[in-house]
Amino acid sequence: MKYKSYTLNNLREIPQISKLTKEQLFDIEVVGRVLPFKTNNYVVNELIDWQNFQNDPMFILNFPQKGMLIPEHYKTVSNLLKNSASPKAIAKATKEIRLQLNPQPDGQSNNVPIFKGEKLLGVQHKYRETILFFPTQGQTCHSYCTFCFRWPQFTESNNLKFADSRIQRLIEYLKQHTSITDIIFTGGDPMIMSTKILERYINLLLEADLPNLKTIRIGTKSLSYWPYRFTKDNDSENLLRLFEKINNSGKHLTIMAHINHYKELETQEVQKAIKNIQNTGSIIRSQSPLLKHINDKPEIWQKMWRQQVNLGIIPYYMFIARDTGAQHYFAVPLVKSLEIFKDAYSRVSGICRTVRGPSMSTNPGKILINGVSEINGEKVIVLNFLQGRNPDWVNKPFFAKYDDKAIWLSDLEPAFDKKEFFYEQSLFFDNKIDLLENNLSSKKYCCKKIEKNETNFN
């Protein structure tokens, strides 16, 4: 199958689109002006049940829905389109709306490290052992998920994007930060890159003297959205040989697969892709947020985890929908999320119980909703850090007042009449330091030229 993408520009070329009403098509156009829309012929033909598309999880996962914008924002864009407003007016309005959707959640901009007086704009280093790299050529996807927390990567707002192609600076950073053991290629989707470009990045990492670097991870949705990347694309064989090369070098390659529903694992092509990856010695781990309208039933997670294990995939994380974009549409309350997780977890054998969750990826770190309890007569939500900006926070339990409507950390209040959670004062102090360093760095950065000998892949 030859890859063909569908966006707002050619939406009506989708053969099955005639099943939608004019109102449904208009909703896609309105919401798709704000939240980026792209799907492809594999998703359209192999994953979506067009006989029941309104309720189909894969349709909702790919096609913008009216409820993904709050009424005020929907009305603004709708009126502009109905009145044939100029592209400039529409772009201005959608940009203003996007800025209200928390485009950089959880302090992502605070994760950008400063190295030799410059910000590494395509890098995030939040947790001591792990660093994220956003290769410029990997900042799109085969299809866009409607819940994606990195939706600004797909807009015209360059100031909201993370991307860089100068990996030599990253290698120098890795040499000076020997606590880093894992690098994650992320995006967007790094698997959108040709093997030739990806190999250039990988080779420089493998050839560098980096004994501290043990694991290379690649975060991708391509396994679900375009499995041909690992089977029939022109450079699929070269890609698999690259995976073998990484594993044979003494480094470990893990594919971090984003799998939101068991339907994504049912086609012959995805199962063939999984085997091809595993035959290179690579491990596949899976993660997904818990999403209303998509997978907010324990039966779905039970079936998905079992299916993954049967295919040799390791269940890794159940996340909470992040506080950005269409969070109001997808969010499941934290207490209900815990109930869904526990119900699904209790129905599977121990081999499936490698999964952790439900977890919030927040500004201070990855916070696990551990349970609901009663302490000294007060009903509380029990929390602890799986990862923290400060490693000393990890596995330290803390407590929030019971709130069955809370959907994010910001909705919770400390239990036992405490004024703040234990980490807040330290986090506030660290943010002040980061802000000061960023201001100083920006002044230096404006005056400094990029070194000519840096590797830059175009």
Over residues 58-101, the pLDDT tens digits come to 999 999 999 999 999 999 999 999 999 999 999 999 999 999 98
In a domain, 293, yes or no: yes
Helices (H) and strands (E) in the chain, counts: 14, 15
- Among the ranges given (77-81, 111-115, 197-201, 364-368), the one the predictor scored with the smallest mean pLDDT: 111-115
Helices (H), 319-400: 327-330, 334-346
Average pLDDT (26-46) is: 97
**Peptide bond preceding 358 in cis form (omega within 30 of 0):** yes
**Final residue in a domain of this structure, among 99, 125, 143:** 99
Closest CA to 114 of 33, 172, 38, 161: 172
| Mean pLDDT across 259-264 | 98
User: Sorting pLDDT into bands at 50, 70 and 90, what band is 452?
Assistant: very low
- Mean of pLDDT over the chain: 91
Q: Is the pLDDT of residue 359 over 80?
A: yes
Confidence of residue 445 (pLDDT cuts 50, 70, 90): very low
188/276 same-domain check: yes
Confidence of residue 107 (pLDDT cuts 50, 70, 90): confident
Domain end, chosen from 53, 71, 99, is at: 99
Residues 73 and 213 in one domain: no
Distance CA 192, CA 198 (A): 9
Under a CB-based contact definition with an 8 Å cutoff, are residues 246 and 253 in contact? yes
pLDDT of residue 158: 58
Banded model confidence at residue 108, pLDDT cuts 50, 70, 90: confident
Cis status of the peptide bond prior to 138, with omega within 30 of 0: no
DSSP 249: T
Is residue 431's pLDDT more than 90? no
CATH code, domain with 336: 3.20.20.70
Query: 154-165: string of b/e by CB count within 10 Å (b at 16+)?
Result: bbeeeebbbbbb
pLDDT above 90 for 136:
no
Q: Rounded to whole angstroms, how far apart are CA atoms 253 and 184?
A: 10
Query: Which pLDDT value is given to residue 429?
Result: 59
Q: Are residues 65 and 143 located together in one domain of the fold?
A: no
Do residues 183 and 87 share a domain? no
210 shares its domain with 91: no
Q: Please, are residues 94 and 100 in contact by the beta-carbon 8 Å criterion?
A: no
pLDDT at 444: 47
73 contacts 33 by C-beta, under 8 angstroms: no
Task: Say whether both 50 and 124 belong to one domain.
Answer: no
407 and 289 within one domain: yes
Q: What is the largest CA-CA distance in the chain?
A: 65
Token digits of residue 427? 């986090």
Residues 6+ apart with CB under 8 A from 143: 5, 38, 39, 40, 43, 62, 221, 225, 226
Indicate the pTM of the whole model: 0.91
The verdict on 48 and 179 lying in the same domain is no
Q: In angstroms, rounded to a whole number, what is the distance separating the alpha carbons of residues 27 and 108?
A: 30
Compute CA 45 distance to the chain's CA centroid, rounded to the nearest angstrom.
24
Contacts of 367 (CB under 8 A, 6+ apart): 359, 360, 383, 384, 385, 386, 409
**End-to-end CA, the chain:** 27
Which residues form the domain of 82?
Answer: 5-99
What's the total number of domains in the chain? 2
Does residue 73 sit in the same domain as residue 170? no
- The yes-or-no verdict on residue 436 having pLDDT over 60 is no
Q: Which residue has the tokens 């400094």?
A: 448
Residue 105: band (very low, low, confident or very high) from pLDDT cuts 50, 70, 90: confident
- Tokens read off for 353: 């119980």
Question: Would you give the distance in Å from CA 24 to the centre of its chain?
Answer: 27
pLDDT > 90? residue 185: yes
Residue 186 CB partners (closer than 8 Å, separation 6+): 132, 133, 134, 138, 219
Shared domain for 323 and 399, answered yes or no, is yes
Same domain, 135 and 84: no
Q: Is the dihedral of CA 199, 205, 211, 217 positive or negative?
A: negative
Residue 449: inside a domain: no
Task: Look at residue 231 and tell me whether its pLDDT is greater than 70.
Answer: yes
Confidence at residue 450, expressed as pLDDT on a 0 to 100 scale: 39
| Stated length of the chain | 458
Same domain (yes/no): 135, 276: yes
Instruction: Note the pLDDT tens digit of each residue in 286-345.
Output: 999 999 999 999 999 999 999 999 999 999 999 999 998 899 999 999 999 999 999 999
Mean pLDDT for the stretch of residues 20-36: 97
Q: How many CB atoms lie within 10 A of CB 109?
A: 14
CA 101/CA 304 separation, integer angstroms: 30
Pairing of strands 130-133, 123-127: antiparallel
